Amino acid sequence: MRYSMINEAAARKLDSEDVLAHVRERFVIPDGTIYLDGNSLGLLTHAAQERVQQTVTQEWGQDLITSWNAHQWIDLPLRVGDRIGQLIGAATGQVVCCDSISVNLTKALVAALSVQTARGQRRHKVISTVDNFPTDLYMVQGLQDLLGKGNCELQLVEEKELNSTLTDDVSILMVTEVNFRTGRRLPIAELTRLAHENNILVIVDLAHSAGAMPVCLDEWQVDFAVGCTYKYLNGGPGAPAFVYAAERHHATMQQPLRGWMGHAKPFEFSNDYQPAAGIRQFLAGTPPVTAMVAVEGALTAFDHVDLKDVRDKSLRLARLFHDLLHDAGLTQMLQCIAPEQEAQRGSQLAYAFEHAYGLCQALIERGVIADFRAPNYIRFGFTPLYTSYHEIWLAVQIIRDVIATEDHLDPRWQQRNAVT
Amino acid sequence: MRYSMINEAAARKLDSEDVLAHVRERFVIPDGTIYLDGNSLGLLTHAAQERVQQTVTQEWGQDLITSWNAHQWIDLPLRVGDRIGQLIGAATGQVVCCDSISVNLTKALVAALSVQTARGQRRHKVISTVDNFPTDLYMVQGLQDLLGKGNCELQLVEEKELNSTLTDDVSILMVTEVNFRTGRRLPIAELTRLAHENNILVIVDLAHSAGAMPVCLDEWQVDFAVGCTYKYLNGGPGAPAFVYAAERHHATMQQPLRGWMGHAKPFEFSNDYQPAAGIRQFLAGTPPVTAMVAVEGALTAFDHVDLKDVRDKSLRLARLFHDLLHDAGLTQMLQCIAPEQEAQRGSQLAYAFEHAYGLCQALIERGVIADFRAPNYIRFGFTPLYTSYHEIWLAVQIIRDVIATEDHLDPRWQQRNAVT
């Protein structure tokens, strides 16, 4: 349903009816800022702020080394992992918080290859999409160069060709659920079903899904997944990522980054690596506690929040944004590159626009934070936990004003120096 | 020179003559605690505390995504790396702060193998010591299983056999400068010279050296090095580690964990990985900013500190500790396992003792924090930036008292549950 003729009062009314409106109080909202970039770096929560303060001042500062037991630092990666698991449809013991997406992807790729080998499958092809997030592709390329193409070979296809590519010579399908540029959401359940029909294992990158919409890894029978915590999970800049491995693979999978934290008996300091049971074996080195407690704190923002409500509000915010842009006569100039159908969308809208970089900078100057992606896209992220309908209304007024005054053409924006 | 008949006043006098005494003010010293475990987790500095607070509250909380440029988060790994470089004898552009030691070791191992391949060397043997820190060995084992023994094969030897093992069929010598149990310090300069005579590349783990003594990577011509920041560098629990690659290898080395942050042009989001020039190519994913700013803050504790003074005081503290223990008649019961010669020692002393675990626990209860290492060692770390001679004197009084009252035999300490 289209939003039409929404004025400021009507936008405020939408907020008054919003079941998630109260969750906004859990966040630190910067004055004078309309933040539409939670798909890149989520807002700070009061809980994360307090948790970091407490950990640094008391746990590290006063209790020091004893905190590994006294404050259960030692269980942090699994504890946080299980909490993330609740948001991505994973039963306990299958998710661990650690390292970066990139590093975790290497673990998942090697683990998946090892499962195929254990099954007697001699396949080496890894299928992914041409517009997957580049780092995901780089990790496969790194492995390809390390192992040789005979053991791991990346093949890139268009998203729409995926189904026809899932043939029985493929070892792994590696996809990102929501495309970082276009916001297109892939049908993971269906792709996994097709892949499994041909004994292909599925690795999913949830960077733009976790915390933005319901994800059902167990139900969809995904094999491995990775994701970051600094976007919709609000864990803080560069916060530790997570990795999921379906329980059915725990006994056979092997991952190469064998740190002491993933050992069955880490404190025996034995010379021979013996993987811990379950997902713990995906741990490598000592985790960055100061950063990980921020994630744990941030996740409390999801307490008593239904992800169906999050998804519902996400789509409404996006629809309102686009409809207001349309009413303002701007959707010819700004070409939406998101799929038409809402079910195929993530929690962002991206627009192709010749002056996307200038528009982005001019908006930032007026307190509307979006981001630019090369070559000519401006992305707006919608984060239902803290974004209000009124903010969407205001943002569109400001966009209209920038374009009317041609601020986006200001010579200051000629030099491109993108932020992440 | 032996310390003899040092009483409390004499210990205080040593403090009054200590050129590093003023540095203690840079640290948060917990009341009622004598902390002899800085070799496991260094104390909090006021600077790190303020830096984390500022980063969370202002940079993340208020400035959000713009902080990548506005607060130079984007340069953090190289900036912190260069500052660490100053402490380990590395000219700028050769050290980067990121990931964990374990993960960085994998990068260094593969990079070293790639340099050998580029030189036309078909060697696959990696020599290390039987009592190296286990995680280092696990990482090689992981690579061995991944690549096959024909491409990477770990061979373990005793420390004293190292010299004779450096023959021309060896690809990599991987050693830790200071042994985590015995505190024995290996002669890295000499080992590197011997290794290079046979075209063997050298990887050094500086976990127990960086910040504890002068390290001269460039001068010693070490090829690659890794280290952690949470021990003598006081970066906080599980803080990001560092990796060093000598500039002469930058053009040829290849590492497999190719994240977008290590790309030559990370913001072009190209599908093909092109490594950044220099040490930046060792970056993989987005770094944990909240944890890394703590490292940057903590490193200011080394401002205007000469590492020769640090080493000098470290040896004095250890000597005083051991001599007082000797004067108390305890060095028969507690068997020092450190090398006799101070030049061969790191910044800790470990003692074999049947009831090491109980002693460690009884001491913790009385505010003296040491640590236990299986099977029967108690370790005392000496951290010259914040440990006073008077604290050493007090610690030995307390040890004497625990043993006199047999508190270390308390049944509560029967169950072993070690901390890291």
Chain B residue numbers with beta carbons less than 8 Å from the beta carbon of A44 are 56-57, 60-61
* pLDDT tens, position by position, A263-311: 999 888 888 999 999 999 999 999 999 999 999 999 999 999 999 999 9
What average pLDDT score do residues B73-87 get?
Answer: 98
State residue B420's pLDDT score.
Answer: 39
pLDDT at A159: 93
Beta bridge mates, A97 = A242
Q: Is A68 annotated as a binding residue?
A: no
Flag the least confident range among B296-310, B364-378, B388-402.
B364-378
User: Residue B268 pLDDT more than 90?
Assistant: no
| Test the B interface: residue of A44, A146, A357, A387 with most B CBs within 10 Å | A146
Average per-residue pLDDT for chain B: 96
Per-residue pLDDT for A60 more than 70?
yes
Q: Give the CA distances from residue A417 to residues A37, A79, A358, A414, in Å, rounded to whole numbers and listed in that order.
A: 17, 38, 11, 9
Of the candidates B267, B271, B288, which has its C-beta nearest A239's C-beta? B288
Helix pair B8-16, B389-404: axis angle to 10 deg? 150
Task: Give the model confidence (pLDDT) of A343-369 as tens digits.
Answer: 999 999 999 999 999 999 999 999 999
Q: Is the dihedral of CA A258, A263, A266, A269 positive or negative?
A: negative
* pLDDT tens digits, A310-344: 999 999 999 999 999 999 999 999 999 999 999 99
CA nearest to B238 within chain A: A288
Please check the confidence at residue A417 and state whether its pLDDT lies above 80: no
| Whether residue B267 has pLDDT greater than 80 | yes
Q: In this structure, what DSSP letter does residue A184 have?
A: B
If phi over 0 gives left and psi between -120 and 50 gives alpha, with beta otherwise, what is residue B280? Answer: alpha
> Which one, of A13, A4, A12, A9, lies nearest residue A328 by Cα?
A4
DSSP for B246-289?
-GGGTTT---S---GGGBSSGGG--SS--BPSGGGGG--S---H
pLDDT band at residue B253 under the 50/70/90 scheme: very high
Q: What is the mean pLDDT of residues A252-261?
A: 94
CB < 8 Å to B258, chain A? 102, 135, 138-139, 141-142
**A248 carries an active-site annotation:** no
Mean pLDDT of A96-120: 97
Which segments of B72-164 are extended strands (E)?
Answer: 95-97, 125-129, 153-157
Please check the confidence at residue B103 and state whether its pLDDT lies above 60.
yes
Q: Per-residue confidence at A113, pLDDT binned at 50, 70, 90? A: very high
Beta strands in B303-370 (DSSP E): 335-336, 348-352, 368-369
CB contact burial A135-145 (16+ within 10 A = b; e otherwise): bbbbbbbbbbb
Ordered DSSP codes for A256-308: S---GGGBSSGGG--SS--BPSGGGGG--S---HHHHHHHHHHHGGGTT--HH
Task: Compute the distance between CA of residue A190 and CA of residue A173 in angstroms, rounded to an integer.
Answer: 12
Measured in angstroms, the CA of A419 and the nearest CA of chain B are apart by 6
Distance CA B50, CA B55 (A): 8
Which pLDDT score, from 0 to 100, does residue B419 have? 45
The structure tokens listed for B280 are 């930046």
Which among B30, B52, B268 has the least Cβ separation from residue A374?
A: B268
Which pLDDT score is estimated for B298?
98
Dump pLDDT digits (tens) for B376-398. 999 999 999 999 999 999 999 99
Crossing angle for the helix pair A356-365 and A389-405, to the nearest 10 degrees: 120
Q: Six-digit token pair at A102?
A: 């990139």
Q: Under 8 Å CB-to-CB from A265, ≥6 apart: which residues?
A: A274
Residue A143 in tokens? 């492995």
Q: CB atoms < 10 A from the CB of B287, how many?
A: 26
Told to judge if A218 belongs to the known catalytic residues of this protein, a careful annotator would answer no
Active site residue A242: no
Give residue-wise pLDDT tens across range B353-370: 999 999 999 999 999 999
Residue of A nearest to B229 (CA): A288
Burial of A27 (0-12, 13-18, 19+ CB in 10 A): buried
The distance in angstroms from the start CA to the end CA of chain A is 33
Strand A224-227 versus strand A201-205 pairing type? parallel
Cβ(B226)–Cβ(B241) below 8 Å: yes
Hey, what long-range contacts does A303-312 have (CB within 8 A, 24 or more apart)? A305/A20, A305/A23, A305/A385, A307/A87, A307/A213, A307/A214, A307/A215, A308/A214, A309/A19, A309/A20, A309/A384, A310/A20, A310/A211, A310/A212, A310/A213, A310/A214, A310/A384, A310/A385, A311/A212, A311/A213, A311/A214, A311/A384
Look-up of token digits 């999050």: A310
Can you tell me the mean pLDDT for A132-150?
Answer: 95
Looking at residue B2, its pLDDT comes to 86
The string of DSSP letters for B150-197 reads TT-EEEEE-GGGHHHH--TTEEEEEEESB-TTT-BB--HHHHHHHHHH
pLDDT tens-place string over residues B36-55: 999 999 999 999 999 999 99
Burial label, B160 (beta-carbon count in 10 A; 0-12, 13-18, 19+): exposed
Q: What is the pLDDT of residues A168-217, one digit of tens each?
A: 999 999 999 999 999 999 999 999 999 999 999 999 999 999 999 999 99
CA proximity to A380, closest of A398, A407, A401, A405: A398
Question: What does the pLDDT average to over B308-318?
Answer: 98
Predicted local confidence at residue B417, as pLDDT: 52
Q: How far is A159 from chain B (nearest CA, A)?
A: 15
For the record, the structure tokens of A373 come out as: 């992606």
**Pair type for strands A95-97 and A242-245:** antiparallel
The active-site residue, picked from A379, A380, A382, A407, is: A379
* C-alpha closest to that of A180 among A213, A134, A226, A211: A134
Q: Please answer yes or no on whether B65 and A40 come within 8 Å at the CB atom.
A: yes
Of B30, B138, B364, nearest to A273 by CB-CB distance is: B138
Q: Measure CA of the first residue to CA of the last residue in chain B; give whole Å.
A: 33
Please give the single-letter amino acid code of residue B239: A
User: Which of A143, A271, A289 is nearest residue B256 as measured by Cβ atoms?
Assistant: A143
Q: Which helix (H) or strand (E) holds A73?
A: none
State the nearest Cα–Cα gap between A22 and chain B, in angstroms. 19
The set of residues, in sequence order, having a beta carbon less than 8 Å from that of A320 and lying 6+ positions away, is A3, A6, A11, A14, A389, A392, A393
Q: Point out the residue among A49, A64, A294 whose CB comes nearest to the CB of B41.
A: A64
Q: What is the DSSP string of A327-389?
A: HTT-TTTSEE-S-SSGGGB-SEEEEE-TTHHHHHHHHHHTTEE-EEETTTEEEEE--TTT--H
Q: Does the distance separating the beta carbons of A373 and B420 come in below 8 Å?
A: no
Q: What are phi and psi of B125, to 5 degrees?
A: -80, 130
Q: Which of A230, A299, A305, A312 lies closest to A39 in space, CA to CA?
A: A230
Q: What is the chain A residue with the closest CA to B142?
A: A256
Q: Residue A236: list chain B partners with CB under 8 A.
A: 56, 60, 288-290
Q: How far is CA B57 from CA A25, A46, A49, B54, in A?
A: 16, 10, 7, 5
Question: Would you call the peptide bond into A237 cis, given omega within 30 degrees of 0 as the criterion?
Answer: no
Cβ separation B286–A230 shorter than 8 A: yes
Chain B CB contacts of A33 under 8 Å are 64
Active site residue B223: no
For an interface test with B, give the residue of A28, A231, A258 to mutate (most B CBs within 10 A). Answer: A258
Q: Are B283 and B258 in contact (CB under 8 A)?
A: no
> What is the pLDDT, as a whole number, of residue A415?
63
Give Rg (Cα) of chain A.
22
Q: What pLDDT is attached to residue A268?
A: 84
**Structural domains in chain B plus CATH codes:** 8-31+306-414 (3.90.1150.10), 50-302 (3.40.640.10)
Q: Dump pLDDT digits (tens) for A78-94.
A: 999 999 999 999 999 99
Contacts A–B by Cβ distance under 8 A: 289
Residue whose C-alpha is closest to residue A138's, from A111, A169, A105: A105
Which pLDDT value is given to residue A416?
A: 61
Is residue A92 classed as helix, strand or coil in its secondary structure? coil
A134 is in an annotated binding site: yes
- A35 in catalytic set: no
User: Is A4 within any annotated ligand binding site?
Assistant: no
Mutate to test the interface with A, among B130, B137, B271 (most CBs of A within 10 A): B271
- Is the pLDDT at A420 greater than 70? The verdict is no
Distances (CA, A) of A117 to A140, A224, A253, A279, B70: 17, 16, 10, 19, 48
Which of these is catalytic: A123, A185, A231, A345?
A231
Are B127 and B170 in contact, with CB atoms under 8 Å apart? Answer: yes
Write the pLDDT tens digit of every residue in B185-216: 999 999 999 999 999 999 999 999 999 999 99
Q: Rounded CA gap, B310 and B187, in Å?
A: 19
- Smallest CA-to-CA distance from A154 within A142, A140, A134 is with A140
Nearest to A319 by CA among A345, A301, A298, A293: A345
Which residue among A44, A130, A259 places its CB closest to the CB of B61?
A44
Is A290's CB within 8 Å of B33's CB? no
Q: Judge whether residue A418 has pLDDT over 60.
A: no
B3, B224, B230, B282: which is the annotated catalytic residue? B230
Tokens of A287: 């985790």
Residue A133 labelled as part of a binding site: yes
